[in-house]
Amino acid sequence: MKLTAQQLSDTITAYCEHLTNNMRREDLVKFITSNMLHSLLYLSPEELEETIAKKYDMNLFKQLATDCINKDVNNPYQSIPTRY
């Protein structure tokens, strides 16, 4: 089937709407989260900070990063070798 660029775009949009309209909320959240993770994992730390700052606020990246650093520091099992 030969489609123009606009027809292909419209078909993709219709498919996405059909797919998401038939998803349960939990499945939709998982799907969105998976897509977000996939795209964000390829960013450098600087690009990630800029993306988060543009969409939310400048301090969110720093707060989330600080929370992760503190979680690692407070984990007494972090330095135990994996072979034990």
Extents of the domains making up the chain: 1-42, 43-75
Cα separations (Å) of 81 from 12, 71, 84? 49, 18, 6
CA angle at 3 for the pair 36 and 18, rounded to the nearest 5°: 45
pLDDT digits (tens, 9 = 90+) for 28-81: 999 999 999 999 999 998 999 999 988 888 788 888 888 888 876 666 665 566
Query: Rounded mean pLDDT of 6-21?
Result: 93
pLDDT given for residue 62 in this prediction: 87
pLDDT given for residue 3 in this prediction: 92
pLDDT given for residue 18 in this prediction: 94
3-state class of 2 per DSSP?
A: coil
What's CA 20's distance to the chain center, in Å? 18
- Check if the beta carbon of residue 33 is closer than 8 Å to that of residue 23: no
